[in-house]
Structures are given as structure tokens and as C-alpha cells.
Structure 1
Amino acid sequence: MKTSGHLSLFSVTEVELIYRNKIRPEDRIIIRQAANAYDVLMDTWDRNKIELVEQFKILLLDQGNACLGIAEIATGGVSSCIVDPKVIFAIALKARATNIILAHNHPSERLCASPADIALTQKLCEAGKFMDIRVTDHLIVTPQRYYSFADEGLMPFL
């Protein structure tokens, strides 16, 4: 509200959260293992970028591990991308996710977790605890295969 060309002391921006899932609950894909998550991710990953630049995505899951959606978090360069935990958890909260699966590609197609990958996973697991959002896995993907942190015993942070 303006008064005499000045902003009122009580002018604020209203923030509204809206969530609509267009897929009926009974039609949502259940993620039972890393292979299911990989299939869902590969169905939506841009095949023109997977061997070119690193991208980071999350699968948003409900309590029964039904997939609520996929969100692209970041796109970077040939060997890295910057992942902001605030963006991940803002999206997860808005989608009402109780579980998330992290995923990123290695354009080099090397399927091994780097120290930076492990540190980020641990950081996101810890952050999720405060919001009751469980990070259940982290996949490194290539067009042909995947590496699952959970399958390889690298998810002791749960």
C-alpha cells in the first residue's frame, strides 16, 4: 500500500504454497529398489546432455515410496555442478515428500562415488533429519548403468 509516494510500514509480499499432483495415487510408480529409480530417471533424463554435462535431480517419494515427481536441481559443467540443499528441501517440502532419492550423472561414465559425492550425500542426509525427510539413496547414472550408494553400503547416514 502506498501512502504519499512512500511504502507503508506494513507492505509485505504474500507467499502462497500450491501443490497439485496430476497423477492419481493408485497410478503412481512405487520405487522398491535402485533399479526402479534408475528406470524412472532414465525415462526423463535428457539423453543429449547425460554424456555432456553433469546434472543433479531428485526423486520425490511419499511414505509408501510412491513417486510424487522428479525435480531437476542443477546443471553444471563437464565434471561438477553446484547443489544447493535449500533448493532440494524447498521442493521436497512443497511436494509433501517424506523420502527422496538423489541422482546425478557422471559425463565421464565412471561409476564411482567421489569424496565430494559422499560428503554431499552425508550433508543432505543430516539436513533431511531436521525436516523428517529421509534421503534413501543416491544414484550416479550413465546411459547404460547406475551406481547406488545404498546398494554399495554408503548410506550409513540413515
Structure 2
Amino acid sequence: METLKTLQNWNQVAEIELVYKTKVKASERPFINSSKTAYQLALQSWNPDTIEFFEQFKILLLNQSNKVLGIYEVSSGGISGTVVDLRLIFAAALKANAVSLIMIHNHPSGQIKPSEADKHITTKVKEAGRVLDIAVLDHIIITLETYYSFADDGAF
């Protein structure tokens, strides 16, 4: 009897829909071929008035040809840190049908040396990416003047 009652309420659950919409033609998407290219694109997406004020964490979502499907802001935080939720990173990557991603965050202090927390989240995201077959190509720390690339430094 309880099972019958439960089945009668099937229409009272949320419907999940996976949709990726873009207004950018595939031929017009930026192509990422280096950390410098990723840095330059990231700077264009950052608010120059807040890059030295509080920390933000974003991801570049890429297709098989290393063309950018989109930029997703994972989190905004305080002066010295922000919370990075792996589920949000990979929910966005899966929804965009990305095959790879690049993590990017700013350091309001102007220092580009990665912290222990930066190294830890890099390891966690890479491990999760391996499970989901989504390659994590780099983690870039940016300021208005320069950047640090984990991949370029051999820390990847």
C-alpha cells in the first residue's frame, strides 16, 4: 500500500534538464595554446576594480580543440581566500560538455607564489578530473601585472 502511494507522487519531483547554450560560433571561440593566452583571456573576464580587492576562482572550460566553451566563476571570497567546491567546478564542466579545464584565481596581494591551499585544491581537482575524464590542464594564479602557471613551473 505504501509503495502505491509513493508511486502516485512521481510528478512531485524536480525535473533535471542539461542544457548548454551559446551565442558564439565555434569558429569565433578563443583558442588556448599557452598559459599566456589563458592569462590574457582571464584578465579580460576579471573586473580590474576588484582584482586587487578580493579573491575569485574561475575556470575556463575547453572543448577537444582547446577552444573556450565558457568561463565560469566558481566562487568569490575575501581578501586572502575563497571556498572552492569541486561539485560546482565539475557541474559546470559536465553541463558545458567540456573535455578539459583550466583553473584560474587571483591573489589580491599581488604575490603569485602558490599557497599550500592552492597546491591542495589543485591536487583535488586533478584527481576528480581523472575520475570524470575531464583533463585539468593548468592552474593559473593571476594579478594585473603577471601570472604563475602550475603547468609551466612543472608543478603539474
TM range (shorter): over 0.9
TM (norm. structure 2) is 0.93
Does the residue aligned with 1:57 lie in a helix, a strand or coil?
A: strand
Matches for 1:1-158 after TM superposition, within 5 Å = 8-10=8-10, 11-155=12-156
The gaps in structure 1 that reach 5 residues or longer are: 1-7
CA distance in 2, matches of 1:37, 1:141: 10
CA distance in 2, matches of 1:94, 1:14: 15
Q: CA deviation at 1:9?
A: 3.0
Does the residue aligned with 1:86 lie in a helix, a strand or coil?
A: helix
TM (norm. structure 1) is 0.91
The gaps in structure 2 that reach 5 residues or longer are: 1-7
Does the residue aligned with 1:82 lie in a helix, a strand or coil?
A: coil
Segments of 4+ moved more than 3 angstroms = none
CA distance in 2, matches of 1:104, 1:46: 12
CA distance in 1, matches of 2:130, 2:101: 12
CA distance in 1, matches of 2:17, 2:128: 24
Q: CA deviation at 1:20?
A: 1.3
CA distance in 2, matches of 1:130, 1:59: 19
Q: CA deviation at 1:115?
A: 1.1
Q: CA deviation at 1:21?
A: 1.7
Does the residue aligned with 2:44 lie in a helix, a strand or coil?
A: helix
Identical counterparts, % of pairs: 46
Between Structure 1 and Structure 2, the one with more helix by share is 2
Q: CA deviation at 1:122?
A: 0.5
CA distance in 1, matches of 2:138, 2:19: 27
Q: Deviations over 1:107-130 (max 9, x none)?
A: 001110111101100100000111
